[in-house]
Amino acid sequence: MSTPGLALEAKSLSKSFGQIKAVNNIDLSMSGGEILGLLGPNGSGKTTTMKMILGILKPDSGTIAVEGIEVQKDPVGVKRIVGYVPETPQLYEFLTGLEYLDFISDMYEIPVEERKERISPFLDGLELKGHENELISGYSQGMKQKIALTAALLHRPRILVLDEALNGLDPRSAKLVKDLCKRLASEGTPILFSTHVLEIAEALCDKVAIMYHGSILANGTIAELRQTAGLPGSTLEEVFLKITGTGDLSEIVRELSS
């Protein structure tokens, strides 16, 4: 059973791959209109956690509910209401950008008469206008990321899961996506946003969960994390290094400079 009022609730979530414990007994929750940053280095378990939330991976133990839907019981139901952008989108590259978005619209049963109205603002805003009839195979990585973002938002999802979604984007497009996330959150859409870029988390997220070696070491507002780390007035970078125990880099610096 999920807790009333929570858009996402994961309890005692674990996942191993052979001898590797990718996610180790974590709890995670979000309310409506909240942007939660899942912060950690590559290999910390962020993507595995997101894929379990989406029903792509089955957890070894624990429970997950998204908008009251139990993921293990109804993974398709969860996929209907979630918008997801993976770190490296796998697109049908033999389609044009517009054909791909039309295919996604079919998958979500978006009426034909509504599609152009929904797609056009994204093509304009993300500077894809004029490229929509080109094959995706000829797109740059940034253009592919923009198509993936558009596809994730076309069905007006009730929750967004964005895994390093700003990768490959130019500064203008990255700013547009961040502003869009803030607007969607202000309208009540919860957003789970993974990143290893601390500045993005500090600028965008209401709360941050610091993930390291498969565990969540701290979870809360940046002010609460500063208090946990005993570093009032510090940057998120300083808090992260303190909480993860990776703050003393002097030996590494000495080795690199020798």
Tens-digit pLDDT profile for the chain (258 aa)?
567 779 999 999 999 999 999 999 999 999 999 999 999 888 899 999 999 999 999 999 999 999 999 999 999 999 999 999 998 888 999 999 999 999 999 999 999 989 999 999 999 988 899 999 999 999 998 899 999 999 999 999 999 999 988 887 888 888 888 898 999 999 999 999 998 888 888 889 999 999 999 999 999 998 898 888 888 888 888 888 888 876 554 554 444 444
Pair 178, 146: CB distance under 8 Å: no
Sign of CA dihedral 211, 214, 217, 220: positive
In this prediction the pTM is 0.89
Q: How many domains does the chain have?
A: 1
Structure tokens at 55: 């029903």
Tell whether 196 is covered by a domain. Answer: yes
Domain CATH number, residue 64: 3.40.50.300
Q: Can you point out the beta strands (E) in 86-147? A: none
Residue type at 213 in one-letter notation: H
Residue 135 lies in a domain: no
**Amino acid letter, 116:** K
Q: Which residues does 126 contact at the CB level (< 8 Å), separation at least 6?
A: 146, 149, 150, 173, 176
Note whether residue 55 is domain-resident.
Answer: yes
Phi first, then psi: give them for residue 142, nearest 5 degrees.
-65, -40
The region, left, alpha or beta by phi > 0 then psi within -120 to 50, assigned to residue 108 is alpha
Per the domain annotation, does 39 fall within a domain?
Answer: yes
Gyration radius from the chain CA atoms: 19
* 101 lies in some domain: no
Is residue 50 assigned to a domain?
A: yes
Structural domain that includes position 202: 6-91+156-220
The answer to the question of residue 40 being in a domain is yes
Q: Is residue 28 part of a domain?
A: yes
CA dist 242 → 26, 44, 153, 157, 218 (Å): 20, 16, 36, 36, 11
